[in-house]
Chains A and B, each alone.
Chain A
Amino acid sequence: MSLEQKILLVEDDPAAVRIALHAFAKSGLGEERIVVARDGREALRRLSQGTPRMVLLDLKLPRVGGLEVLECIRQEEHTRDIPVIVLTNSDDDQDVVRSYDLGANSYLRKPVDFHKLVALLKQLGMVPA
């Protein structure tokens, strides 16, 4: 599955994935535009195969954590410039600070407010304003 022009959603909670897919669909992004990775390792494998249009990255992931994934994204030539929005469950602002230090473009607190997400997607030109 090619990643070009797609959103890579890295999220381990299947219910949260389902809700996200629904919200994307409502803003005009069908499931064919979304690729889901269930943990950090799967995300890295996907990212080694292509350049998605954007990454939505949960920070708390099994195996390889979100911050590590972010670090890898920013190190690799072909993924360096992808917009990354991190999703954080934690209310510890340290996570947000670390994400920005590592090059995140924006963050959303979980549970994600999908109106905010869609507004961000519009800002990044992912969906028509």
Chain B
Amino acid sequence: MGNPVAVGKAFLTILLLEDNPAFADLLREWLVDAALLQGPLTLLSRSQLLWEQRLETVLARLRKERFDVILADLNLPDSSGLGTVDALLDAAPQTPLVVLSGLDDELLAIEAVRRGAQDYLLKKDVESGLLGRAIRYAVERNKAEVMVERQAHQLAAANRELESFAYSIAHDLRAPLGNIRGFARILMEDHADELSPAGRTHLKWLLDSAIQMETRIADYLKLSRSARGKLQRQLVDLSAQAVAVAHDLGQQHPDRRVEWVIEPGLQAMGDPGFLAVVLENLLGNAWKFTAQRDPARIAFGVTVDREGKPCFFVRDNGAGFDPEGADDLFVPFLRLHSQEEFPGTGIGLATVQRIIQRHGGAVWAESQPDQGATFFFSLGSRRAYTVP
């Protein structure tokens, strides 16, 4: 590495924080040797080394001025150790910091870098070559980091915008679609006599399609909301929620015979509204995919995952699925069964996954075709559970 590294900006403004005047002088000489500063005889010396001895003075300058790089000894009359690192990074988070220390303390060095310093140099090792490289690298690395951070920011903003755009499109389609359904229904109820049998069939298809699209949009909006609304965490009685869902399902389909086994007293920390959506989807799926079982059996309880951590489960004795498709279950709009077998939009489990992930947990499933299915979910922190 004989050649100096190209620095985007040819002239650097370097702020040196060092309480020892002799070492400060030495550093200036090294920087001249490293061609980061021009010698005293050069008239056009546009790179600058600004030297301060106290943290307080430096912090005051950082409020008003910008520097390309800060070189700082950690132990000063008015500050020491990591406190100096934190203060400098707080005051100038976007300015690269190179720490100079007389202490040969590797843990301190690692911690300084972890907190955001670009480099940690031991005074006894410093000479012009090392110092020059350290400064150039620090400036370049910092530039790259700032760029990545800015891009991540822009990407997140673009994503949010896209998501809210999709949301408003779906939302705005509802009113005209509702009208289409409304008029189709009027034709069906009041004008069916005026149509030929084929015309009536087509009208029926029109109405069914409109209803299907309404369901799809409603499900899409639920998915979209599950990624947007704020989580309001509190202790939630999942067993009570499951019982309520079971009750609703039973009322909607009084003809079905389903044996429910819901473990009582299961509680979790989470957003009650969102967790209710999770249970509605998982128990609703279990209900749907056991349609051909008599009696159907659906259980909700708590167990442990492979690592021995507690997780909740919803188990049924229904149609199950091919385990090869297990990863696709949570992909929006992708379905493992045909509409004729089991109707649906393929959004429910994607919604469940988003909600669970926002809670810091995971959801996964196990099944064999015709052997029923079990869906497991965890909710992140260990403290999230109260098992009776």
Contact = CB atoms under 8 A, between A and B. Distances in A.
A13 B221 contact: no
Contacts of B177: 111
Contacts of A19: 179, 182-183, 186
Interface string A1-28: 0000000000001011001001000000
Interface in B168-216: 171, 174-179, 181-183, 186, 190, 214
Given A19-B186, A22-B186, A89 B179 contact: no
Contacts of B182: 15-16, 19, 111, 114
Contacts of B133: none
Interface in A108-127: 110-112, 114
Nearest to B176: A15
Given A19-B182, A19-B186, A22-B186, A13 B175 contact: yes
Contact of B179 (A13, A90, A91, A114): A13
A110 to B, nearest CB: 6
B186 A111 contact: no
How large, as a class, is the contact surface on chain A? 10 to 19
Contacts, number: 36
B225 interface: yes
A11 to B, nearest CB: 10
Contacts of A22: 186, 190
Contacts of B171: 89-91
A111 B183 contact: no
B190 to A, nearest CB: 8
A110 B225 contact: no
A22 B191 CA distance: 13
A110 B173 CA distance: 12
Contacts of B178: 16, 110-112
Contacts of A110: 174-175, 178
B174 A89 contact: yes
A19 B189 CA distance: 13
Contact of A89 (B175, B214, B225): B175
The 5 closest A-B pairs by CB, nearest first: A111-B178, A19-B182, A15-B179, A22-B186, A89-B175
Given A15-B179, A111-B175, 6 more contacts: A16-B175, A16-B179, A19-B186, A89-B174, A110-B174, A112-B178
